[in-house]
A and B are shown apart, each in its own frame.
Chain A
Amino acid sequence: MSKNLLPFKSEHELIQACQKQDRRAQQIVYQVNAGKMMAVCKRYLGVGPDAEDALMEGFMKVFSKIENFQGQGSFEGWIRKIMVNESLMKIRKTSNRYDQDINETYDIAHPEDALMHLGVEEIQNLILELPPGYRTIFNLYAIEGYTHVEIGDMLQISEGTSKSQLSRARQILQNKLKELQA
């Protein structure tokens, strides 16, 4: 939240104003976070109206639940969690993609060096090319930093399923890169 918060002097003041349903404060919160949150939603839902819907619903939730924000942890992190949950709800509504309960982990090779030097856009595109189920688990584990237990709770799947799907996602990413290099 390094962007301009004027006329509010601090993030705390901005949040307090939002808790009083101050429209100006709400707009600033949106302006400061919308870009990042749009990237989060797109990473889960791909480019299209679903990501925009998730962003809109997510911000509605942010403004209605802001009174519950206790100031523990960063405000941006709290908004991000809401956006991730909103995206997961959208995925859940469209289809059940976590029904594959495989406890097998794939023995995948070292990541190619090329993967280390990918730009943001390329990474984003690579992730979006993953099938939705793998994409979700890869995003939750690799990008958001959730553990397999937490992912299991969030998606109502076993820890083993989460692990196996992550391995599969990594394998797919490796293969994609090979295809690109070839």
Chain B
Amino acid sequence: MSAGEGVDSGPATGTGELLDSLGPRFEGLEPRPTTDHPATRCRAEFIRPLLKTLRDEYGYLMLMDVTAVDWDEESPRFTVFYHLLNPKTAQYARVSVDCLDDDEPEVPSVVSLFAAAEWHERETYDMFGIRFTDHPDLRRILMWEGYPYFPLRKEFPLAGIETELPDSEVGEATEAKVLPAPMMGGPFVAQSGQPMSASEPRGRDESWTEHHHRPEDFDALEGPEQPETLEDRSGDKPRIED
């Protein structure tokens, strides 16, 4: 997605007007493709002054959301998004900041401007591993302290990765572990005969429940075990009876 394409196509979003007045004051401010609200891309060092200006001079008093996107292979890999609301005009604005470092992403915290950012930034840190510098209390908020992964990163499987329970005593007493969830038959796995579109979310079944081959695997299988496994499979798979 290159900047400028699709800006203000369709319904008027007001990106142009906002940028006309803000552009000269903040270097590197670019429009983002958008179909709803004014959206701009901002450099990390300007995010605090920009949000302060939007809050104090443009009436965007409310920080609705802070979140991030993992672009996977692309660089910059992580983009942090801020959604602001002007309660008087009921206008939203979207500001995005690209994290320069793909391996250790970092963005200045805006907690000093919006108290609401505190938990949003903690959540974004928890899920994506983006560090917010100068955050007063940057701990995990959903997962437990000491969890070794960032679950919303693209390389993290939906089923999860085996690791220890948050409480090692309980883990020892019960021999329970954090295990990958069974994906087979779940809501995010394509069933045979029911193709999913490429845009739908999907999980790969990496669970202990998948002892059996999928139908398409049998075409590739060779050797005498083929009929046996086919029979095994028929008894175990949940089926819809006609």
Q: Do A and B share a complex?
A: no
Q: Identify the B interface with A (CB < 8 A).
A: none
